[in-house]
Amino acid sequence: MEQHHITRLGVVLGQGQALGTRIFQVIENVPVVQDDPNAVNLPEDGKGEIAFEEVSFGYKEEPVLENITFSIPAGNTVALLGGTGSGKSSLINLIPRFYDVTTGTVKIDGIDVRNLKLESIRNKVSFCDQETFLFSRSIEENIAFGNPLATKEEILQVAKASQIHDFIESLPDGYKTVIGERGVTLSGGQKQRLSIARALLADPLIIIFDDALSSVDIKTERKIQDALEALLKGRTTIFITQRLSTIKFADRIIIMEKGTIAEQGTHTDLLSKNGIYKRLFETQIDGLLDLEIIEEVEDES
Amino acid sequence: MEPEEEDFRRTISDTVLIKRMLKYLFAHKKLMFFALVMMITQTIFFALGPYLIKIILDNYIAQKRRSEFTIIGSVYLVVVILRVIPMYVQRWLLLKAGEKTIHNLRRDTYEKLQDISMEYFDNTPVGDSLARMTTDIASIQPIVSGEFLMAFSSLFMVIGGLIVCFSISLPLTLLTLSLFPVIIIFAIFQRRFVRKKWDDYREFNAKYISSMAEEISGARVSQSFARHEYNRLDFDKLNEEFYQKGVSAFRWSSMFSPFYETYTKLTIVLVLFVGGSMTLQTQGAVTVGSLVLFILYLNSFLEPLMIIAGLYALIQTSFSAFERIVILLDMPPLITEIDNSKPLDCHSGKIDLNDVTFSYSSGEAMVLDDFSLSIQPNECIAIVGETGSGKTTIISLISRLYDIQDGSIQIDGQDIRNVTLSSLRQAIGVVLQDPFLFSESVRYNLCYGKEASNEEIEKVLKLISAEFVYKLSDGLGTKVGERGGWLSLGQRQLISFARALITNPKIILLDEATSSIDPQAELQIQRALSKMLENRTSIIIAHRLSTVRAADRIIVLDKGKIIEEGTFDELLAQKGDFYNLHQLQFRQEEN
């Protein structure tokens, strides 16, 4: 048969070379972000203090962040506010080293993140993203994604705190329900609540909510916030948010504008400054803010 | 099991698959006709070769006619050389037909995926469709690119060879044919065992691709949870199983070549043995020349037979893949247009939902049960309700992404099942919760629903204060990255707003899209929307007080039922659920 002829070797080799090149491009690609040979683990008794020192950063030479300096004491909660494209998401991407800074340093517990083992950082930093990515596995596995050894009790605990337990129980297979199968599609809000449960179960030192409650209705948001209060104790927390209702949690507020920090301080500080925050605050009151929350914030500060 | 899943697992008989494949191959009639002519020419030249050798042996060598030997030798040489030309042309034509078949299969599967209902996408992992469109199609390449058609030329040669063999020696031919059933039994055995293995293999291939597609999309989640080790363990398991399936399929497939090789050689040995003793009987029945001739023809008859048999083995691997493609192609689109459906005449934008009953798949809880709602032309309806109350479903049903199980949905008195899908969807501008952008330019995304001039684009962008587009590095030409990932979510939402408005639809359906835009941008959009909603019917799912207040009518939805409806003031006065919701969600400073 013709395919056995040795003359075919040339054709086959040519095809193989073309395919092989593409495969080896992937295999030999050197990750830009990788462990330094002398990288260390975060200390076991890490507290989760975050410090940005004169950080600048850009994608493809386009500067996104410029000269950012701030620190978050361990266990504190910070609300990060800012308009579309102000650099909030880029800023938090630098903490778990999804990208490396262009200049300056990002430190966790006083150690430059570039001197830490990636796995050690990422074990201690959890994310709840704006858009939740879930895997087509069971709900249980999705919640335990960052902590596959978690017990059923731990899973139930975080699911309840995230106000998603009742919904999961209402599904035909409960926690064993496989996402994406047989039309099991979740609404944006349900996905976000699962992502909160997932982040909590990883038991992180630092937890970042990137507009993670945007698709949850305010009633549910409040329930989640109440439940979160206890669970976030002792963890350094960053909330990126558009809703001022979330600032109820924050020890401090950072306002970003065009890649720089425009204002930072407590709610009272910022209101007295008569700047962006005040304007933002008034806009939202004008729009939709819950009176109770404002009162609470004002009482607390 | 749902019917569509059954459809997906059903098997198609080989006869049907062969017919379908031939239909694709013979779509290029001229090409195929020419190839057929070349095939016959090649066969004739091919059949001529051994006959010339017999003549050389018996008439020239045996009779020592040395002087004429050069002439007959040259004739043989020319025949051999001439045979090569149609061989090349035929092979090239067949490969071309094969590539065209692949091309058309790609086109057909793509078109199928364009038409197929949302229900399919809800139930099928992305990777499964990807596998059908890429690796499954690629793995039928060997058979359509020539091999399948080579069987035809082989068939000619088998028949031609058989006729010649009969004319040379009847007993020797019958002897050869007596061994034939062995091949048939073996082929049946092969069909049964190998096909199953390859079906498993191809199915696993789809699973593998699905898993990898998801792994790559979820890279950020995996990295942020430091899943490296666990993912590797999962992957190793998957990869090992994939390997085992491949090995097991090839273990069976590999048996065939050696088997057929043994079969043909045994046949020749038998013919030599029997035929040889026949020449020794010196009754002149069989000369040495005709024995050699017989064996030469036997070879040219057994070899194509082996090609056919080998092809049968090859077909098993490729037909597993082809079957998966045909199943996809034959899937009925659940949302279909009726015969003689007319374009929607959407002059006023009145929407009626009459006793609508719907669940996402049979056997699952009803999302809407006997739901009725009538929306007047140019009315703006705000739907309020908890997550899972059915808000998004209502919007999906009006744009007919799913068909309802009972009741009817009408736009300007026309049942949406009776109008063309394209006219229906053109009349409706949808802004989804998660703004999906394509990895093209901003302009491409804005004009996704309709080509528009720069002026039109500018007008829309201005209206919703999305002029930020012009400040991007390449303005309208700026690439947005996969799913629009190079833009912030707020920017993506603004673009998806503009995209919906650019088609100038009579009806606007807005699904919670405002929830993540910063307050300033939202105020701008609120203002712009109120302008845009003039002279349009709209349904808005909103959590925002300003939206709810601006609406002509508010509907409070709970578990697929309307529990309250009325204007903002009416509902507040009722002191019912909306009042409570408002107390919690919307209470604000009255200034």
pLDDT of residue B244: 93
User: Would you state the pLDDT for residue B520?
Assistant: 63
pLDDT for B39-98, tens place per residue?
888 878 877 777 788 788 888 877 777 777 788 888 888 888 888 888 888 888 888 888
Per-residue pLDDT, B5: 40
Provide CB contacts within 8 A for A121, sequence distance 6+: A42, A95, A96, A97, A108, A113
Yes or no, beta carbons of A285 and B585 under 8 Å apart: no
Tell which of A1, A132, A206 to mutate to test the B interface (max B CBs under 10 Å): A1
- pLDDT tier for residue B591 given thresholds of 50, 70 and 90: very low
Given a contact cutoff of 8 angstroms between Cβ atoms, the answer to whether B83 and B45 are in contact is: yes
pLDDT exceeds 50 at position A1: no
- The alpha carbon of residue A154 is apart from the nearest alpha carbon of chain B, in Å, by 17
pLDDT at B1 over 50: no
Where would I find the H helices in B218-287? 219-224, 228-253, 256-280
pLDDT for res A291: 38
Cα(A258)–Cα(A88) distance, rounded to whole angstroms?
Answer: 10
Residue pair A210/A127 in contact (Cβ under 8 Å)? The answer is: yes
* B7 confidence band (pLDDT: 50, 70, 90): very low
pLDDT at B9: 47
Instruction: Compute the average pLDDT of residues A275-293.
Output: 60
Which one of B433, B486, B587 has the shortest CB-CB distance to A188? B433
Looking at per-residue pLDDT, the higher value among B332 and A233 belongs to: A233
- Cβ pair A287:B588 closer than 8 A: yes
Which chain B residues have a beta carbon less than 8 Å from that of A128? none
pLDDT score of A105: 93
Predicted confidence at residue A296, as pLDDT, reads 44
- Which two three-digit tokens encode residue A45? 């008794």
Which pLDDT score is estimated for A293?
42
Which pLDDT does position B539 carry in this prediction? 92
The answer on pLDDT for B353 being more than 90 is yes
Q: What is the DSSP string of B370-429?
A: EEEEEE-TT-EEEEEE-TTSSHHHHHHHHTTSS--SEEEEEETTEEGGGB-HHHHHHHEE
Q: What is the pLDDT of residue A112?
A: 92
Is residue A51 over pLDDT 90? yes
Arithmetic mean of pLDDT over chain B:
81
Q: Is A181 on the interface with B (CB under 8 A)?
A: yes
Closest CA to A199 of A218, A188, A185, A213: A213
Would you say residue A178 has pLDDT above 50?
A: yes
Tokens 């909330």 correspond to A239
Put simply, whether A97 touches B (Cβ < 8 Å) is: no
**Which is more confident, B4 or B79?**
B79
Out of A84, A123, A145, the one facing B488 most closely (by C-beta) is A84
Cα first-last separation, chain B: 58
In the predicted structure, residue B101 carries a pLDDT above the cut 50: yes
CB contact under 8 A, B227 and A292: no
- Report the chain B residue with the minimal C-alpha distance to residue A294: B588
Residue B182: alpha-carbon gap to chain centroid? 39
Which among B386, B388, B512 is the nearest to A215, CB-wise?
B512
Most confident of A184-193, B295-304, B307-316, B405-414: B405-414
Residues whose CB falls within 8 Å of the CB of residue B13, separated by 6 or more in sequence, listed in order: none
Best of B224, B308, B529 to mutate (most A CBs within 10 Å, chain A): B224
More confident residue, B250 or B518: B250
Q: Looking at the predicted structure, is the pLDDT value of residue B327 above 70?
A: yes
Average pLDDT over residues A150-160: 92
Query: Given a cut of 90, is residue B492 above it in pLDDT?
Result: no
pLDDT of residue B354: 92
Predicted pLDDT at A287 = 45
The predicted pLDDT at position B8 comes to 45
CA–CA dist A215, B543 (Å, integer): 9
Work out the pLDDT band at A46, boundaries 50, 70, 90: confident
Touching B: A residues 103-142, CB under 8 Å: 118-119, 122-123, 125-127, 129-131, 133, 135-136
Mark which residues 272-301 of A lie under 8 Å from B by CB: 280, 283-292
The Cα A154–Cα A137 span in angstroms is: 18
| Main-chain dihedrals φ then ψ at residue B312, nearest 5 degrees | -60, -40
| Residue-wise pLDDT tens digits, B434-462 | 677 888 888 888 888 778 888 888 888 88
pLDDT in tens, B379-393: 999 998 876 788 888
User: Do residue A133 and residue B386 have CB atoms under 8 angstroms apart?
Assistant: no
How sure is the predictor about A285, in pLDDT bands with cuts at 50, 70 and 90?
Answer: low
- Average pLDDT estimate for B469-489: 77
pLDDT score of B362 more than 80: no
The 10s digit of each residue's pLDDT in A81-113 is: 877 678 888 899 899 888 899 999 999 999 999
What pLDDT score was predicted for residue B356? 92
Q: Using alpha carbons only, what angle is made at residue A87 by residues A279 and B501, rounded to the nearest 5 degrees?
A: 75
- From chain A, the residues in CB contact with B227 under 8 A are 145-146
> B186: how many CB neighbours lie within 10 A of its CB?
17
- Whether B480 shows a pLDDT value over 70: the answer reads yes
Q: Is the pLDDT reported for residue A7 higher than 80?
A: no
B424 vs B334, B380, B412, B421, CA distance in Å? 16, 19, 11, 5
Residues in chain A within 8 Å Cβ distance of B545: 287-288
Segment holding A142, helix H or strand E: helix A139-143
- Edge-to-edge strands, sheet with A260-265: A125-128, A206-210, A236-240, A77-82, A252-257, A260-265
